[in-house]
Structure formats: C-alpha cells, structure tokens
Amino acid sequence: MQVILIGLAGALGAVARYMLGHFMTHLLGSNFPYGTLIINVSGSFFIGLVFALTTHHLLSPGLQLILATGFLGGYTTFSTMSWESVQLARGNARLSVLYLGATTLFGLLAVAAGIASGWWL
C-alpha cells in the first residue's frame, strides 16, 4: 500500500511541477528557467521541513516517505535543471552559471530554512 501511495504522491508532485512551471513561463517568459528554479528551491525548503517534522515526531516515517520520496521526488527536477543549464550555456554561459549557482545556493538556504521552520514548530 505504501508503494502505491508514494506513486500517487509522485504523480501529484509531477502535475504540480508542470502546472507551476507552465504558470511561471506564462508570467515571466521563457528566457530564463524561473519555473524550475522556484520549483527546486521550494522543494528544497519543503524537504527540509518534512525531515525536521519527522525528527520531532510530528510526521510519521511513512508519511515522510510519501511526501519526500513521492510528492517532492515528482515535484523537484534535477534532470530538467541540468538540461536547462546546458541550453543556457549554448547561448549565454554566464547566465547558465548564474542559474546553477542560484539553484544551488538558494536550494541549500531553503533546506536550512525548512529545517529551522520544522524545529521552530
């Protein structure tokens, strides 16, 4: 049953990723992958929060698997970030480095903020 729930959560995460990415492209254009950046940074925040809440026994390990492996696994996307970085580098290497740096830095800060938020709750 847990495998089915992880799969369903992963499907919901993928749909959420698609919808947010599509919305951000519509809102901000396609010259820079804002959608993927926002998705990966927000996913980093939420995975930090999920693990902190699990550590404090506010979430069960089973729910952690469903949320982190399932939903957030489907929601965040390393492969798309990698592909977009290569595409940016083909036209503007500095923009590609900015994207990779921003994703990494903000992702790490977001995980830390998620953990801190979970400890605060």
DSSP conformation class of 121: -
Q: Is the pLDDT of residue 13 over 90?
A: yes
Provide the whole-model pTM.
0.93
Tens digit of each residue's pLDDT (9 = 90 or more) over 45-71? 999 999 999 999 999 999 999 999 999
Q: Is the pLDDT of residue 34 over 90?
A: yes
DSSP conformation class of 68: I
Dist CA 112 CA 61 (whole Å) = 20
Dist CA 53 CA 47 (whole Å) = 10
Determine if residue 55 is labeled as part of a ligand binding site: no
Answer for the pair 96, 89: CB distance below 8 angstroms, yes or no.
Answer: yes
Q: Which two tokens stand for residue 118?
A: 């979970």
Q: Which helix (H) or strand (E) holds 20?
A: helix 2-28
Look-up: residue for tokens 């830390």?
112
Q: How many CB atoms lie within 10 A of CB 27?
A: 9
Q: Which two tokens stand for residue 105?
A: 């830095």
Integer CA distances (angstroms), 3 to 8, 11, 112, in order: 9, 12, 28
Determine if residue 73 is labeled as part of a ligand binding site: yes
How much is the pLDDT for 46? 97
Evaluate the CA torsion angle 26, 50, 84, 10 in order and state its sign: negative
